[in-house]
Structure 1
């Protein structure tokens, strides 16, 4: 099973061009896809409906979209009637197999006055593969404030680990004559976490490293897939600033429930992709 996460920057690449076709080409061969910065009616890509564009280019996938930010600035049509042209900014999950349930988890945020602060979210998708049910989250954390990321990680871990008690999007289907959906313990958190390995936020996600025994795999912390199997090449990055390459860094990850750690076969970053300022992050599970 191949999973990939890609912050697509509303379809605009490092050359400044809007091109969803090259983004779709970079996702070829994936079984499950997590996308961030998916938009509708956004001025930076001339109002493109990226959800419709991506699904048209990937017609063999089930999909779900979760708008973290949903605003309308009062636009009207030529006759003065409400245009209801809503600006959406959020995440998607696409899967070769059915997505039988989803929740759009809105992450904690603060009111900010000196920088734009868009609502961020984690889109939860319950996927039924031929062999098992799996939860996949497309995650996008705040990019300018450590304190906010720490709050978001705490909330995200509560929801991910609390799923067996909460029952996801739906439970108790017997009342309506519906089958009970699966309630898997295992999950994968994929996306743009806007943090580097070893940072306070990263430690909050994965736990501390023992000075003598190193990092442990424990039930109450997700595991960084990049720390399993073969390590990434030195200097690997997932976000690129061609004008200031000293700022390039690794900020996109896949974190797994500890029960899935032994199934990670390979991880890699597609450094040949140019459809965004981020690079696709891949994970292979057996």
Structure 2
């Protein structure tokens, strides 16, 4: 299984030009991916720099035949002009695997009056793979507020404990046609995205701390490159937005029970199609 995780900044490259088709072309050059988890995908946000199109989720679905494209909206704001589109900003997941279940989690948003912020979300999909069901989560944590980031990390860890409890105590379906479907949340998971937390930071360390009652998370890159520091994932080419210099803040974490299936994890440092660099993960 080949997966790419990428904060695509609504298809805006390091020079400030928005072209979502180019972004997908760059992803395809990295790998013939089976799974694509994206952050900063928009609908109705024409006012953002570069002027993204009306509905980037629809653009992704049209450009990826054979894939199921899922969305989760974090910020959902009114139009700037009467009769316009709502402005929506969130995450997308595109997969070739059959999708058993989709859960959209609004992440905690505790008040922090000293920092700009927005509602953040985690998109969870239970995929049917040849090795059994697998949970994949794509998320994007708060940038300005450490208080909110830490609360969101704690929530993601709690979701892992909740899924482990579902896996240990599955509920039956009420019937085959109704919404009370059988519980299929597996214990094994991938969590990917822009954590807005530097490698080794408090939020990073908290996320990978041991969990009691469920497999903990491990950083796929450091697991496959022991003793090394990962290369930067943001601010490599866009020096205007990242004037303090590049930072490593995008990660792909897997539950520790998937450790033996890790084959490759690469941070692509060449593409300039976003202000972030994509991460390729390969699982056996």
Same fold (TM over 0.5): yes
Question: How far apart are the structure 1 equivalents of 2:243 and 2:270?
Answer: 16
- The answer to whether structure 1 residue 60 and structure 2 residue 63 are counterparts is no
Describe the SS at the equivalent of 1:273.
coil
Which residue number corresponds to residue 184 of structure 1?
186
- The answer to whether structure 1 residue 222 and structure 2 residue 217 are counterparts is yes
Question: How far apart are the structure 1 equivalents of 2:138 and 2:61?
Answer: 16
Q: CA deviation at 1:36?
A: 0.5
Relative distance call for 1:280 and 1:74 in structure 2 (3 A) is closer
Give the conservation status (yes or no) of the 8 Å contact 1:4–1:282.
yes
Give the conservation status (yes or no) of the 8 Å contact 1:219–1:258.
no
Q: CA deviation at 1:112?
A: 4.6
Which residue number corresponds to residue 207 of structure 2?
205
Which residue number corresponds to residue 51 of structure 2?
46
Which residue number corresponds to residue 103 of structure 2?
103
Question: Of 65, 68, 78, which residue of structure 2 is paired with 1:72?
Answer: 78
Which residue number corresponds to residue 284 of structure 1?
282
Relative distance call for 1:59 and 1:146 in structure 2 (3 A) is same
| Between 190-199 and 231-240, the greater mean CA deviation after superposition | 231-240
Question: How far apart are the structure 2 equivalents of 1:266 and 1:47?
Answer: 33
- Equivalent positions of 1:26-37 (< 5 A) are 26-28=26-28, 29-37=32-40
Cα deviation code 1:204-241 (max 9, x no counterpart) = 11128xxxxxxx9x955311112212359756111014
- Equivalent positions of 1:126-205 (< 5 A) are 126-166=126-166, 172-177=172-177, 180=182, 182-205=184-207
Give the conservation status (yes or no) of the 8 Å contact 2:112–2:148.
no
- The answer to whether structure 1 residue 242 and structure 2 residue 245 are counterparts is no
Give the aligned CA root-mean-square deviation in angstroms.
Answer: 2.5
Which residue number corresponds to residue 271 of structure 2?
273
Which residue number corresponds to residue 211 of structure 1?
none
Relative distance call for 1:96 and 1:181 in structure 2 (3 A) is farther
| Between 147-156 and 55-64, the greater mean CA deviation after superposition | 55-64
| Between 172-181 and 24-33, the greater mean CA deviation after superposition | 172-181
Describe the SS at the equivalent of 2:260.
helix
Cα deviation code 1:165-192 (max 9, x no counterpart) = 357xx96424345773533110000000
In structure 1, the gaps of 5 or more residues are: 78-82, 209-215
Question: How far apart are the structure 2 equivalents of 1:57 and 1:206?
Answer: 35
Give the conservation status (yes or no) of the 8 Å contact 1:219–1:259.
no
Report the TM-score when normalising by structure 1. Answer: 0.86
Q: CA deviation at 1:110?
A: 3.0
Give the conservation status (yes or no) of the 8 Å contact 1:111–1:117.
no
In structure 2, the gaps of 5 or more residues are: none
Question: How far apart are the structure 1 equivalents of 2:13 and 2:104?
Answer: 26
Q: CA deviation at 1:159?
A: 1.0
Describe the SS at the equivalent of 1:142.
coil
Report the TM-score when normalising by structure 2. Answer: 0.86
Relative distance call for 1:74 and 1:276 in structure 2 (3 A) is closer
Cα deviation code 1:93-117 (max 9, x no counterpart) = 1111122211111111134555431
Q: CA deviation at 1:268?
A: 0.5
Cα deviation code 1:145-179 (max 9, x no counterpart) = 22211111001110122114357xx9642434577
Which residue number corresponds to residue 80 of structure 1?
none
Give the conservation status (yes or no) of the 8 Å contact 1:206–1:223.
yes
Give the conservation status (yes or no) of the 8 Å contact 2:7–2:40.
yes
